[in-house]
Structure 1
Amino acid sequence: MKLEGIYVPLITPFADDLSIDYEAFGEVIDWQIENGTHGIIVGGSTGEFFSLNDEEREAQMRFAAQRIGGRIPLIAGVNDLLPDRTYAHAKIARDAGADALLVAAPPYSLPSQKELVAHCLKIDRVADLPIILYNYPGRTGVNMEEEFLERVAQSKNVIAIKESSGDIDRMHMLAREFPQLQLSAGAEHQVLEFFAWGARSWVSVVANFFPVEARRFYEICVLEGDFATGRQIMKALLPLMLCLEMGGKFLQSVKYACELMDRPGGPVRGPLMPMKKELRREVFQIVQTAQTTLQAILAEKD
């Protein structure tokens, strides 16, 4: 499986009673496909998987697979605090028709590199699907070090790594030392650098509300090699990306940005709380400015 393009970790729209709004979720999936997104991720942190129970996660995965209907690849986030539940989610994703799995370290347990190898290879045996590693030590507490990568990269199913550490030196290390692993941009504010270092895919949070702009950014840098325009796009996106990553209300801001683009968003589940008015105003201004600037850049380019 080749990762080429924009892969969107979808939000999970909730109704006012905090149940999953499947009508809205279906609209989200269709809109992404209509706007040229290359693949969809269900069960990621942007989708608030940690707030869904097992039955909801299974139902959401099966619904997404059926709604996508093979039009574009479906990547399943299968991570959980309990390893046994991770293995169960991997089986469910396989049976539902997922094309690949997104696999991170189990949070809180802080496994050693050898223990993390055993965990990932068990997922491999259980599902026998392509695996995209997800390195995000800020959430899991564990880095996927070279010792781990050297071992798991021997599996034919371990095909890529979504690098979300924010450590630019790791990006260099992965591109240099592990060319057999496809490098995927996982840190929003470093996307341009990922493209410059050979990444051909971006797990794009902003594509939840800017799918066309995200796709064109990828095309301009990766397919057309126009990094001069790419730098202009990155300058336009950077305030937005930093606001999302460092504003303290990541999921709330993403869902609000979706609503600003007339897309379903909805509330977040606890323990997260709604944004205050001050942050809503800030996100509103940043999203509007980014949209206007991006439209001008792309109109001139195209």
Structure 2
Amino acid sequence: MRFEGIYTPVITPFREDFSIDFDAYMASIDYLIEAGVHGVVVGGTTGEYYVESHDERVRLLEIAVARCAGRVPVIFGTGSIDPNESIRLARAAAEYKADAILVATPPYSLPTEHEVAQHVLAVDRAANLPVMLYNYPARMGTVMGEACLDEVLASPNIRSIKESSGDINRLHLLMQKYPDLQTSCGMDDQALEFFAWGARSWVCAGSNFLAEEHIALYDACVVEGDFDKGRRIMGAMMPLMSVLEQGGKFIQSVKHGVTLAGRFAGVTRKPLLGLDEAEQQQLETVIRTLKASIAAIQKEGK
């Protein structure tokens, strides 16, 4: 499987009583497909998987596969603090016909690289599907380093890695030492650098509400090879990246962005709380300016 394009980690819309609004969830998937994203991720961090039950996570996968109906691939996140739960989720991915799975390090337990590798391979065996690794040390507490990668790449299913460390040296390492491992941008404010080094996919939460603008950066850099245009688009996106990556309220900001776009996003489940009025106004201003700037850049090229 080739991972190319914009992959959106879909939000989970929760009502005020914290139940899932499945109709709104399906509407989000429809929006993403119609907007032109290249794939969706179910059960990613942006989907708040860590506060969802096993049954909820599997139901979201089942709906997504049915809704996408082969139009775009569905990647299913198997992340859990409990490795046995990750294996159960991997089996569900195979049962409900996910196209690939996302495999992260179990958080909190701080496994060694060999232990991480053994976990990855166990989840891989449970699903026997293409695998996108997920390296996010800030959340997981440990890194999928070279020893881990060298071990897991013995499996032909390990196809890609979502690199979310924020360490540009990791990008250099992956692109130079592991050229056959498809590197996907997982740190939004480094998307331009990833594309410049040859990455061909971006897992980006902001595409939940700004799909066209994220696709515009991908098209400029990867499809057209126009990095001058890409720099201008990325420059217009940087204020949003600052809000998302450095603002401290990543998921809340994404959900408010979806609300501003006219779709139901709902609340976040605890412990997360929504944006205050000042934060909402800041995000609204950033989005309005971004959309106008990128529209002008796109118009110049026509």
In the alignment, the residues of structure 1 paired with residue 132 and residue 274 of structure 2 have an alpha-carbon distance, to the nearest angstrom, of: 32
In the alignment, the residues of structure 2 paired with residue 38 and residue 71 of structure 1 have an alpha-carbon distance, to the nearest angstrom, of: 9
> 1:264: Cα distance to partner?
2.2
- 1:84 corresponds to: 84
> 1:298: Cα distance to partner?
1.1
Per the alignment, in what secondary structure is the counterpart of residue 2 of structure 2? coil
* Runs of 4+ with deviation above 4 angstroms: none
- 2:54 corresponds to: 54
CA offsets, 1:147-205, max 9 Å, x none?
11111112100001110000000000000000110010110000000000000011011
| Matched letter for residue 230 of structure 1 | G
In the alignment, the residues of structure 2 paired with residue 33 and residue 280 of structure 1 have an alpha-carbon distance, to the nearest angstrom, of: 27
| Matched letter for residue 265 of structure 2 | G
Q: What 5-or-longer segments of structure 1 have no aligned partner?
A: none
In the alignment, the residues of structure 2 paired with residue 262 and residue 291 of structure 1 have an alpha-carbon distance, to the nearest angstrom, of: 15
* Number of residue pairs the alignment of both structures matches: 302
In the alignment, the residues of structure 1 paired with residue 146 and residue 180 of structure 2 have an alpha-carbon distance, to the nearest angstrom, of: 13
- 1:277 corresponds to: 277
- 1:246 corresponds to: 246
| Matched letter for residue 220 of structure 1 | A
C-alpha contact 1:153 1:180 (8 A) present in aligned 2: no
Residue 129 (structure 2) pairs with residue 129 (structure 1):
yes
Per the alignment, in what secondary structure is the counterpart of residue 76 of structure 2? strand
Percent identity (aligned): 46
Alignment of 1:1-302 (within 5 A): 1-302=1-302
| Matched letter for residue 240 of structure 1 | L
Q: What 5-or-longer segments of structure 2 have no aligned partner?
A: none
Per the alignment, in what secondary structure is the counterpart of residue 214 of structure 2? helix
| Matched letter for residue 273 of structure 1 | L
In the alignment, the residues of structure 1 paired with residue 263 and residue 214 of structure 2 have an alpha-carbon distance, to the nearest angstrom, of: 16
Q: Please report the TM-score for the alignment, with normalisation by the length of structure 2.
A: 0.98
CA offsets, 1:216-275, max 9 Å, x none?
211110011100000000000011011111111111111001111112211101011121
Q: Please report the TM-score for the alignment, with normalisation by the length of structure 1.
A: 0.98
Is 184-193 or 201-210 further displaced after alignment?
Answer: 201-210
Superposition RMSD in Å? 0.8
Per the alignment, in what secondary structure is the counterpart of residue 256 of structure 2? helix
In the alignment, the residues of structure 1 paired with residue 184 and residue 264 of structure 2 have an alpha-carbon distance, to the nearest angstrom, of: 27
